[in-house]
Amino acid sequence: MNDKQLTSILNARSVKPTAMRLLVLDMLAQQEAASSLSDLEEQFDKVDKVTLYRTLKTFEQHKIIHSIDDGTGSAKYALCSEGCECNPGDLHVHFHCQVCKRTFCLTDYTIPAVNLPHKFVLKEMNMVMKGLCEDCAG
Amino acid sequence: MNDKQLTSILNARSVKPTAMRLLVLDMLAQQEAASSLSDLEEQFDKVDKVTLYRTLKTFEQHKIIHSIDDGTGSAKYALCSEGCECNPGDLHVHFHCQVCKRTFCLTDYTIPAVNLPHKFVLKEMNMVMKGLCEDCAG
DNA sequence: AAAAGACATGCAACCGATTTGCAAAGTTTA
DNA sequence: TAAACTTTGCAAATCGGTTGCATGTCTTTT
Ligand SMILES: [Mn+2]
Ligand SMILES: [Mn+2]
Ligand SMILES: [Zn+2]
Ligand SMILES: [Zn+2]
């Protein structure tokens, strides 16, 4: 993705397009699986972990990325689709491969509805499937 | 639950019923919501966190309890139902209340099936709903 | 019963992921 | 330009979870 496109994503979410943010956004856009803070840190020649951390926080707050709790103990991050508001209706299932350890957004798989007990109010959901991904299932 | 019942639960899962284990199991049986290590620690007058930790690990390995990753950063534990083998089929949905911070087992709500993309193999699942529990929804 | 073995417990210290504090650098505003 | 605000970098703290190791307890063997 070119600089113009990256900048416009940030602008659309009212996040100032600093050099650092453009770099991080670009890197996120290149990933095929969701990335942890450490994953991203490794892919930079030199970057401050805390700045990266805060950049991700900012992105998350402005719905540029969403964080995924796949149960591994380290949060993963992936780009939100354009116009995503991270509402329960927008949410998709995530898949964590136990072999290659990658976590994928199954963006076409919406989380099935569960009707809760009486009076419970639903605000958020998290659904993670674990097993073998297509590459590892052989 | 009386000592005899607690002992038989442990025996049924081949876990030696030590004084400590009986105490912990009794405490778990009294909870209406899933408990974290710290939750349990607070409820004892005096207990070593590591011993408590290892007791929970042992219980989990022997399927006396299951652990719940509700996304709060601290694992919660709750008793398994009798004869539970923690298979994908046995699994139920969990609900975390964002107000009172309690996490509940919705034992009657099985996780709905999602048919994964071609070649993906499912081994485990985790589904957590978040929002307001019946007490907090008012 | 004494010795040996096996398992359980307690305390200290470590670990990885995340978060905070604070000062320096960079930007925007007046 | 000077003040005000935001972003960045480095150090250090926090937090939940985990490991190492010595001690205690209970069981089995001699
Ligand atoms: Mn996703
Ligand atoms: Mn449960
Ligand atoms: Zn894989
Ligand atoms: Zn509640």
What is the per-residue pLDDT across B9-65, written as a single tens digit (0 to 9) for each?
999 999 999 999 999 999 999 999 999 999 999 999 889 999 999 999 999 999 999
Alpha carbon distance A67, A104 (integer Å):
12
Alpha carbon distance B6, B22 (integer Å):
6
Encode pLDDT of B49-79 as tens digits.
Answer: 999 999 999 999 999 999 999 999 999 999 9
Q: Which residues contact A25 (CB under 8 A, 6 or more apart)?
A: A6, A9, A10, A59, A64
Judge: A117–B131 Cβ closer than 8 Å, yes or no.
no
CA distance A44 to chain B (A): 27
Minimum CA–CA partner of A127 in chain B: B127
A137 contacts A103 by C-beta, under 8 angstroms: no
Q: Is the CB atom of residue B57 positioned under 7 angstroms from any atom of strand C?
A: no
Provide the residues around ligand 2 (an ion) whose CB is within 5 A.
B 78, 105
Burial class of residue B87, CB neighbours in 10 A (0-12, 13-18, 19+): exposed
Residue pointed to by tokens 């970057």: A47
Q: Which residues contact B104 (CB under 8 A, 6 or more apart)?
A: B33, B34, B94, B95, B96, B97, B133
CA distance B55 to chain A (A): 21
| Domain housing A42 | 3-137
CATH number for position B54: 1.10.10.10
Number of domain units in chain B: 1
Tens of pLDDT, residue by residue, chain A (138 residues): 889 999 999 999 999 999 999 999 999 999 999 999 999 999 999 899 999 999 999 999 999 999 999 999 999 999 999 888 887 777 899 999 999 999 999 999 999 989 999 999 999 999 999 999 999 998
Residue of B70, B97, B120 to mutate, interface with A, max A Cβ within 10 Å: B120
Residue of B114, B122, B136 to mutate, interface with A, max A Cβ within 10 Å: B114
Beta strands in A20-102 (DSSP E): 35-36, 65-68, 76-79, 92-97
Would you state the structure tokens that stand for residue A137, as one six-digit string?
């299932």
Tell me how far CA of residue A46 lies from CA of A23, A41, A43, A49, A137, in angstroms: 12, 8, 9, 9, 35
Tell me how far CA of residue B138 lies from CA of B85, B130, B135, in angstroms: 36, 16, 6
Q: At what angle do helices A3-12 and A19-30 cross, to 10 degrees?
A: 100
Judge: B98–A129 Cβ closer than 8 Å, yes or no.
no
Encode pLDDT of B86-115 as tens digits.
Answer: 877 778 999 999 999 999 999 999 999 899
Residue nearest the C1' of D26 (CA based)? B18
Predicted confidence at residue A138, as pLDDT, reads 80
User: Which is nearest to B100 in space by CA: B44, B38, B34?
Assistant: B34
Residues 106-135 on B with a CB inside 8 Å of A are 106, 109, 111-114, 116-134
Q: Which nucleotide is at minimal CA–C1' distance from A50?
A: D9
Q: Which ligand is nearest to the CA of B76?
A: 2
Q: Which ligand is nearest to the CA of B132?
A: 4
Specify the amino acid at residue A51.
T
